Amino acid sequence: MTLQGKVAIVTGGGGAIGRAICLELANAGADVVVFDLLEESAERTAGALKKQNAKSMACAVDVSNFDAVCAAAADVYQRFERIDMLVNCAGGSARSKMAEFHLQSIEVIHWMLQVNLFGALHCIRAVSPFMVQARRGSIVNVSSIVATGGKKGCVEYGAAKGGVIAATKSLAIELGKYNITVNCVSPGLVQRDAVSDEKAFANRFSVVNRICTQEDIANAVMFLVRPESDFITGQNLAVDGGRSLGLRGDN
């Protein structure tokens, strides 16, 4: 129980990856506050945490709204009197609205930046003063290998996630003197739905013989928030099974 007595906020905690992160933090003894756009999703994750006898709190928060984020962070601090960890997992690609950039609507472009980049910055700006005051803390941002490798149809998403990586580095420099670490985890393809041939799918999207799971991402986050990792800061950890290795066309 290495995180016993500590308080974590996980944004996007109602989603598949966010929920896995919440569960791992709770397993390590942390009290977990679930931020999610959808109240029902936040409550579902909080309910799962309570079944593990973990203290939890669900908050319906639109991370693109800075005032709403500030109010939610203040509520968390008032209830728990501390905020030790922030995991920015809210966001995602445009999915069905993906398009080549010269055809993409400006509304989708702005939406991607608001949720993936500004959402993370809003949460860090709202929470970091509490960490600075306490002179301790750990922030982990979830980016993507798309930010460093590029992908067709994901210009705005890659730009937003690239901004998250850049912000992580500068924040690590600024906040290090307050004993606050800031790191980034960049997943590859995390498969949510069942596939007919798991090995073939894994070999297509990685160099290892299995599919990436939500727990793989949660384990990477856990590594970075543990006290044993407090000398690691400003880093971007790719969790992609080696997908980002190698030159195009090589096997």
Specify whether 77 is catalytic.
no
Check the CA dihedral 117-232-126-63 and report its sign. Answer: positive
Q: In what order do the strands lie in the sheet with 31-36?
A: 56-60, 31-36, 7-11, 85-88, 137-142, 180-187, 236-239
Q: Are 212 and 191 in contact (CB under 8 A)?
A: yes
Cα separation, 79 vs 38, in Å, equals 21
From start to end of the chain, where are the E strands? 7-11, 31-36, 56-60, 85-88, 137-142, 180-187, 236-239
Cα separation, 12 vs 36, in Å, equals 5
Task: Please enumerate in sequence order all residues whose Cβ is within 8 A of that of 231, keeping only pairs 6 or more positions apart, or say none.
Answer: none
Cα separation, 143 vs 157, in Å, equals 10
- Of 191, 209, 192, residue with least CA distance to 200: 209
State the catalytic residue, choosing from 157, 180, 218, 241. 157
Q: Would strands 85-88 and 31-36 be described as parallel, antiparallel, or unpaired?
A: unpaired
Q: Determine the number of helices (DSSP H) and then strands (DSSP E) in the chain.
A: 9, 7
Q: Catalytic amino acids?
A: 157
